[in-house]
Amino acid sequence: MNEPQSPDDTTPNETAKSRLSSRFSLFWWILLLFILAFLIYFFKYRSTKPAEVKRPPAVVLAVAHNKDVPIYIPALGNVIATYTITVKTQINGLLMRVLYKEGQVVKKGDLLAEIDERPLLAQLTQYQGQLVRDQALLANALVDLQRYQRLWKQDSISQQTLATQESLVRQYQGDVKIDEGLIESTKVNLLYCHITSPIDGRVGLRLVDPGNFVQTSDTTGLVVITTITPMTVIFTIPEDDLSKILPRAFTDKNIKVEAFDRRQYKLLATGSLLTIDNQIDTTTGTVRLRAVFSNKERMLFPNQFVNIRLLVTTINNATVIPTAAIQHSEKGNFVYLLNSDFTVKTQPIKVGVTSGDETVIQEGLSFGQQVVVDGTDKLTNGAKVSIAAPADKE
């Protein structure tokens, strides 16, 4: 009979399997403990992590300040020369010389061109010879008249003979007058051979070259001269704005007018209002005005397009803020006003005129108060704010 095996009598294979099973169980226990520890740590960390603090919205501020605010009427205008003259010949003749350069600034009386005067000089000599002849005939006729008068008193000649001699004297006197007139006319025409500038100004491009035969009937002329100092600008404003100007137009002779370039970046000249047209254009509802500028810097050019600002009045010591700070609601205009605790409140305001990028505040703000310019879309009444940039200072 076989005897039962004791525990110590297990085989080596059974022992190895038992050890492997124990190690496998230990691995899973360790893995389970690791997962459990991770879960405990994860949930504990989430529960103890502090909540993120929400930062107040950042805003940009501006300071309400006082300044003199000029009120302008904007307009569009064209530069018009005070005088524009087309220089023409006053006699027919050959253009001999042109003595100016294109674009030259000339003075009144400067010689511009010369026309051939030789035909006129010959004509003058002829008329002077006729005058000498007619004067001699007149002198002889006067001597005969005196003799005929003595003979008529002696009843030696008839009344008809005396009357004929008197008529001959008057005829010769008329011939002398004609000769003197022809001589004077020729001398004037000789002066016209020397064409001079009638005004101070700037000459344009040459219209006729030397060697051409010019005539008084020519419509183009020889050259165009325009004045450059002073210069005027004609501009139009709406008829509704006329009432703002008329009270001053008849009492103040120095209403300020500024002329800017096409893009309104550069101030070209400063002048004054010269006159207002005497009627309104009913088709456009506008009225024309003329301003005069000294144009010493010569920044204005004839027919140039300019932007005009006509000074209406000046509001002294007005409270102004950037226009961007003004908000709008159904109840009216308001601003976000900064409190000392860095909160904002909605402050109702009454706005006045706008000048550039600033607006006059008639009611609701005073000097030194700070208002929000940028970042208003995130604000409500009483909201806390942070300052993104220092307040503007004047």
Give me the DSSP letters along 242-306: HHHHHHHHTT-S--EEEEE-TTS-SEEEEEEEEEE-SS-BTTTTEEEEEEEE--TT----TT-EE
Best CA proximity match to 259, nearest among 227, 228, 231: 231
* One-letter amino acid of 283: T
Q: Packing angle between helix 118-153 and helix 159-192, nearest 10 degrees?
A: 160
Give the pLDDT confidence score for residue 391 in this predicted structure: 47
Provide the pLDDT for residue 158.
86
Domains observed in the chain: 60-69+316-389 (2.40.420.20), 72-82+227-314 (2.40.30.170), 84-224 (2.40.50.100)
Q: Is the dihedral of CA 365, 368, 374, 377 positive or negative?
A: negative
Read off the amino acid at residue 125.
T
Residue 376 has phi, psi (to 5 degrees) of -70, -20
- Quick check: 298 and 61 in contact, CB under 8 A? no
pLDDT at 7: 47
CA distance 310 to 251: 16
Q: According to the model, what pLDDT value does residue 173 have?
A: 94
Report the b/e string of 92-103 with b at 16+ CB within 10 A: ebebeebebeee
Q: Give the count of beta carbons closer than 10 Å to the beta carbon of residue 349.
A: 24
Distance CA 305, CA 147 (A): 81
**pLDDT given at position 258:** 95
**Cis peptide before 230, with omega less than 30 degrees from 0?**
yes
Return the pLDDT at 394: 47
Q: Give the residue ranges of the chain where pLDDT is below 70.
A: 1-27, 43-53, 389-394
The span from the CA of 365 to the CA of 64, in Å, is 7
pTM exceeding 0.75: no
Helix residue ranges per DSSP H, the chain: 12-48, 118-153, 159-192, 242-249
